Amino acid sequence: MDYQKLGLKVGVEVHRQLDTSRKLFCNCPTEPREGGETVKITRFLREAQSELGAVDPAALFESKKRKKIVYHVNTYNTCLVEMDEEPPHPLNPEAVETALTIALLFNATPVDEIHVMRKIVIDGSNTSGFQRTCVVALGGSLVVDGKEIPIQTITLEEDAARIMSTGHGYVEYDLSRLGIPLIEVSTAPVINSPAEAVKVAKAIGNVLRATRKVKRGLGTVRQDLNVSISGGALTEIKGVQELQLISSVVENEVVRQLHLLEISKELRKRLGGETLPPFSYVDATEIFRNTRSKMLRSKLEAGGKALAVKLPMFAGLLSREAAKGVRLGAELAGHARAWAEVEGLLHTDELPGYGVSAEEVAALKKAVGAGEMDAVVVVVDELGKAVEGLRAVYARACEAVEGVPGETRAARPDGLTVYMRPRPGAARMYPETDIPPVPVSSDYLESLRARLPEPLEATAEKLARRHGLSRQLVEGLIDDEREELFTKIVESHSLSPTVVASVLTETITSLKREGLAVESLTDQKLVEVFKALAEGIYSKEAVPDVLRWLCSHPEAAVDEAVKNLGLGAVSTESVEAEVMAMVMAHSSEVEDPRLANRLMGDLMKKYRGKIDGKQLHGMVLQAIERVKSAEKT
């Protein structure tokens, strides 16, 4: 695809948790720990009305589905501040220092005074109903493949609570994550291809990591993407967790927008300038009274109503698929789900089917007065929800005539996106008066400039030089974000740097490919694995097995792995004696140069992982030599 020609513009926002010892506005630790003993509290949020009475589309969206919010409070890392029961403490200076350091690394202009703002968010992810956020610097840039990518803003904010579950009328959050400092770096929309978006996000990540003050691992990094093409609309895509997913998310968004443009063109041709009539629906419950569709039947039996709406001239367009999962029908379903929590929508493009008979379809079309070229959408739910859901479907269908609606979408792990909510209007922000502004003096900035951390490239060179590592291993360590862990291990144990580096990169990657839960290999766990290796409890050949076992037993300690894998160390003397006995038994063959290798095969079967292969080989050679010389004398 010629992205340049399509006018693709992408802006990247990289969000990353800072690894400070305390949260941004209180003294809670930032270590993740969820579950355990929790207190549950119930809350409701209502947005304060604006002076102008103007309604923000995104806020209206949330308030339309005002939910009971249940917060799970784990006192290990949650206090009254996260519960919105105590005013925030002043900005954590450690986080401010890290954010300013990052600003300097991007050559951005720090503001002279940092003002914390309240950004209204009423989905419950912030107990206060707003996210506390502040701009620490403006401007700056980075260079990726020779192209300058301008930075727009660098902000420091509190991370939100993690959603646990949601259902009709309620949503549950865990407060552990709320308040962890989060740095956000936003680029200008100057990126022109999916591949470039990945590179920019990675380059920003590398600058952030140079501070050695960012968290790593699942859930600590999140990329938001702002994507548009000529003639399309700006789509905000939230929550891309993995770098590699960025390119497919952007690719899919381009496909989606092109598809919607094509459908809009087709619809306008079919409608010939007519506009769609106002929303009205028909109760089609009777038509499905004796339906064989299991989905319809179970919902109708639960007291639901089947409501139908005619989409004039939409026949065939709902199930037209531009790529797997990219269909107008899916967009309509997304709106029904987001606005009214209505799951499962049927439309005539895919009927008869799903147990719905041709007779039922005919009756349905008749009931809404649908002709050959019209489509009919049916939702089944309790009356109020069904009407709400169908109204959302119809509103989205009307937008399809116009083209691509600007909206906020959520990224899924497969690279597709789903509708979340309308795009917010101008951000609803007002000052957080509980927190005094923080002046940033030029003296302070000078002192930070004087001790800027080395860039990651310099770290890589140093690692290669000091430990004689191959370029590939060094890159692996940097990409997998394990360079600090590597240094820590080789500096505290006498182990071969190459062995440590290859375990930390290649071995773990291949275990991940096997489908193992490598997330359970925490830094602490890996340090223990290498400590045991250095102590000779097992040999390096056993390391993959130990790691594999630990992946499937995340709670277990290294010595349990040793026990369960039967790896307990053997004494050198006993192995030496056994080797000698074997060589003696083959004394007629000692002149055969292949003897050593033959014996090694059997010995390795027995001692794999318990004794270093190289050491064992040495013992065999030594034994052969001794037998030879004994025979000579």
Partner 1 sequence: MAEYFGYSGLAAALLREAGASVGEEVEVRRGGQVFRGYLMARYEFGEPGIIVLKMANGYNIGVRVDERSKVVKLTEVKPPAFNPPPPPTPREELPRVSIISTGGTIASRIDYRTGGVRAALSAADLVSIVPEIGEIANISAEILMQVYSENLTPAHWTQMAIRVDQIIRDGFEGAVIAHGTDTMGYTAAALSFALQKTPIPVVLVGAQRSSDRPSSDAATNLIAAVEVASKAPFGEVVVCMHGWHSDDLIHIHRGTRVVKLHTSSRGAFQSVNAQPMAVRTPEGLKMLTNMYHPRNGDGYVFQPRFDDRAMLVKFYPGMKPESLEVLVERLSLRGLVLEGTGLGHVASSFIPVLRKLTGSGLFVGMTSQCRHGWVNMNVYDNGRDLMRAGVVPLEDMLAETALVKLMWVLGKLGEKAEVEEVREMMLTDICGEIGGRTMPQQ
Contact between 43 and partner 1 (CB under 8 A)? yes
Q: Residue 151 or 478: which CB sits closer to partner 1?
A: 151
Q: Residue 45 or 185: which CB sits closer to partner 1?
A: 45
Minimum distance, C-beta of residue 565 to partner 1, in the bound complex (Å): 48
| Measured distance CA(140)–CA(11) in Å, rounded | 15
Strand, helix or coil for residue 554: coil
Q: Are 351 and 305 in contact (CB under 8 A)?
A: no
Contact between 421 and partner 1 (CB under 8 A)? no
Contact between 115 and partner 1 (CB under 8 A)? yes
Q: Residue 133 or 264: which CB sits closer to partner 1?
A: 133
Pick from 345, 389, 349: which is nearest to 365 by CA? 349
Residue from 8, 18, 26, 45 in contact with partner 1 (CB under 8 A): 45
Contact between 429 and partner 1 (CB under 8 A)? yes
Contact between 52 and partner 1 (CB under 8 A)? yes
Site for partner 1 in 146-175 (CB under 8 A): 153, 155
Q: Are 240 and 224 in contact (CB under 8 A)?
A: yes
Q: Are 378 and 287 in contact (CB under 8 A)?
A: no
Contact between 112 and partner 1 (CB under 8 A)? yes
Minimum distance, C-beta of residue 188 to partner 1, in the bound complex (Å): 13
Q: Are 117 and 434 in contact (CB under 8 A)?
A: no
DSSP 406: P
Site for partner 1 in 119-148 (CB under 8 A): 119-120, 122, 127-130, 133-135, 138
CA distances from 454 to 155, 209, 306, 381, 457 (A): 22, 10, 64, 59, 8
Q: Residue 429 pairs with which residues in a beta bridge? A: 119
Contact between 80 and partner 1 (CB under 8 A)? yes
Residue from 29, 65, 84, 412 in contact with partner 1 (CB under 8 A): 84
Pick from 178, 177, 392: which is nearest to 279 by CA? 392
Residues in the interface with partner 1 (CB under 8 A) total 52
DSSP 159: P
**Can you tell me which residue has the tokens 């039947």?**
297
DSSP 267: H
Minimum distance, C-beta of residue 563 to partner 1, in the bound complex (Å): 46
Q: Residue 39 or 323: which CB sits closer to partner 1?
A: 39
Q: Are 311 and 289 in contact (CB under 8 A)?
A: no
- Angle made by CA atoms 348, 353, 358, in degrees to the nearest 5: 70
Minimum distance, C-beta of residue 7 to partner 1, in the bound complex (Å): 23
Minimum distance, C-beta of residue 555 to partner 1, in the bound complex (Å): 32
- Angle made by CA atoms 273, 366, 351, in degrees to the nearest 5: 85
Over the window 439 to 478, marking each residue x when it contacts partner 1 by CB under 8 A and - when it does not, the resulting string is x---------------------------------------
| Measured distance CA(332)–CA(322) in Å, rounded | 15
Site for partner 1 in 23-42 (CB under 8 A): 39, 41-42
Strand, helix or coil for residue 366: helix
Q: Residue 433 or 574: which CB sits closer to partner 1?
A: 433
Residues that bind partner 1 (CB under 8 A): 39, 41-53, 68, 80, 83-87, 109, 111-115, 117-120, 122, 127-130, 133-135, 138, 153, 155, 426-431, 433, 436-437, 439
